[in-house]
């Protein structure tokens, strides 16, 4: 079943310059106590303390002296040297374009980072680049390192923003890798902040639902899916609520509760139609539930509606979704025409074409047309590893 996965979470460094200076002082060690730094820059220690804690403003010449004391440039102290690259990186993540370029930028920013906030942010972004490149083990490893900085920020400066985001990102790798070490500790760390952040709470509960389902605890999974829906309702984002309805529907489908799945799909689809790619995903899954219920006429209308939609190439080839819709049309109509067309479609991968060939093999075998059945069996073997049921396969 195809679900909508939440996006990775970005983190913008707060503007607390004093905190950044204190973080760098801490990294520099005992030689950079407040008194030592005050002496280096020719400032009273009490005055420096007030400036570090935001009670008084820094003058530019004072910042130059602090940068000199740290043996870094003023631009590095103010992070002005990476502003353009950070903006480019976030745009690449936002538009889902050129993740290799995003990886190169993120890796550079990790090497430049100083202070726990900047180190944590740069590692979070490097993890995002790995994740989008489908290097899930590497993303997990980097986000685990980021988690340590995030915990330190939360404990030392009472700033849980990065902690919330990196735990959310780690949840993505947990559900992909199906490995849940330290999960309970992480949830405990962020639970106090969840009540004030319904969007994050919705995502965390969705991730916990997937984990419970992977562990075979369907009752716990259903509870978490419902909790996620409650939080998305509070957040009042129609698109995200629709995605949550869709994801809950796919869960109920996997539990063979096809009528419940149908209700959730029916609620989700109208809100997903403005985004064609999301609508194509929903229509495919919705149609599969209708087929299970024997509602072929309704599925037929829905599938033809889906074939009129234009998807966005940035988020995967829409032709793959159209191909799967055509295979479903062949299934409900018991008509090989649609599946045959899939084998000649451009921008459709071998796995999807193999589904079409498998339908055609089954169709001609049922008609006792051994010549055609063998022909499509050979195509299946060329494209994939076997012949079997189609609509219950995870990739379909």
**Helix, coil or strand: residue 129:** helix
Give 3-state DSSP helix, strand, coil % of the chain, rounded to 5. Answer: 75, 0, 25
Asked if 208 and 176 touch (Cβ cutoff 8 Å), the reply is no
Residues of the chain with CATH 1.10.260.40: 17-79
Count the residues in the chain. Answer: 396
Asked if 262 and 286 touch (Cβ cutoff 8 Å), the reply is yes
Question: How far apart (Å, rounded) are the C-alpha atoms in residues 230 and 134?
Answer: 30
Whether domain 17-79 has CATH 1.10.1200.10: the reply is no
* Integer angstrom CA distances of residue 60 from 16, 54, 200: 15, 15, 38
Burial level of 81, CB count in 10 A (0-12/13-18/19+)? middle
Predicted local confidence at residue 314, as pLDDT: 47
| Average pLDDT along the chain, 396 residues, taken 10 residues at a time | 62 68 94 94 95 90 94 94 96 91 97 96 97 94 95 89 88 82 76 77 86 90 94 86 95 96 97 90 96 96 91 61 94 96 90 93 94 93 68 65
Number of CB atoms found within 10 A of residue 185's CB:
11
72-80: long-range pairs with CB below 8 Å, 24+: 72/114, 76/112, 76/114, 77/20, 77/21, 77/24, 78/17, 79/13, 79/20, 79/118
Q: Tokens in use for 136?
A: 């899930």
pTM over 0.75, yes/no: no
Report the C-alpha dihedral over residues 347, 349, 350, 351, rounded to 10 degrees. Answer: -150
């Amino acid at each position: 079943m195809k679900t909508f996965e939440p996006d990775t979470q970005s983190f913008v460094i707060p503007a607390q310059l004093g905190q950044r200076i204190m973080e760098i002082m801490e990294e520099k060690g005992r030689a950079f106590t407040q008194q030592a730094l005050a002496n280096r820059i020719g400032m009273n220690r009490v005055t420096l303390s007030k400036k570090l804690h935001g009670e008084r403003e820094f003058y530019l010449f004072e910042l130059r002296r602090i940068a000199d004391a740290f043996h870094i440039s003023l631009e590095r102290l103010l992070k002005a040297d990476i502003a353009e690259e950070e903006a480019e990186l976030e745009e690449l993540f936002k538009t889902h374009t050129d993740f290799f370029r995003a990886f190169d930028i993120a890796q550079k920013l990790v090497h430049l980072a100083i202070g726990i906030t900047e180190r944590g942010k740069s590692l979070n972004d490097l993890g995002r680049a790995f994740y989008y490149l489908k290097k899930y083990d590497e993303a997990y490893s980097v986000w685990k390192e980021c988690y340590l900085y995030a915990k330190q920020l939360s404990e030392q400066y009472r700033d849980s923003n990065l902690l919330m985001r990196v735990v959310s990102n780690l949840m993505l790798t947990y559900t992909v890798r199906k490995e849940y070490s330290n999960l309970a500790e992480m949830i405990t760390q962020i639970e106090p902040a969840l009540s004030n952040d319904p969007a994050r709470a919705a995502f965390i509960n969705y991730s916990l639902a997937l984990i419970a389902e992977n562990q075979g605890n369907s009752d716990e999974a259903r509870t978490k899916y419902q909790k996620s829906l409650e939080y998305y309702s509070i957040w009042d984002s129609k698109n995200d609520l629709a995605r949550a309805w869709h994801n809950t529907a796919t869960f109920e489908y996997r539990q063979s509760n096809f009528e419940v799945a149908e209700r959730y799909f029916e609620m989700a689809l109208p809100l997903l139609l403005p985004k064609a790619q999301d609508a194509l995903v929903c229509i495919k899954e919705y149609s599969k539930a209708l087929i299970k219920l024997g509602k072929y006429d309704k599925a037929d209308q829905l599938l033809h509606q889906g074939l009129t939609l234009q998807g966005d190439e940035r988020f995967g080839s829409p032709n793959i979704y159209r191909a799967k819709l055509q295979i479903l049309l062949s299934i409900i109509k018991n008509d090989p025409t649609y599946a045959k067309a899939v084998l000649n479609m451009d921008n459709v991968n071998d796995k999807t074409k193999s589904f079409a060939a498998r339908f055609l093999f089954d169709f001609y075998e049922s008609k006792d047309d051994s010549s055609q059945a063998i022909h499509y069996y050979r195509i299946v073997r060329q494209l994939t590893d076997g012949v079997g049921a189609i609509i219950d396969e995870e990739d379909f």
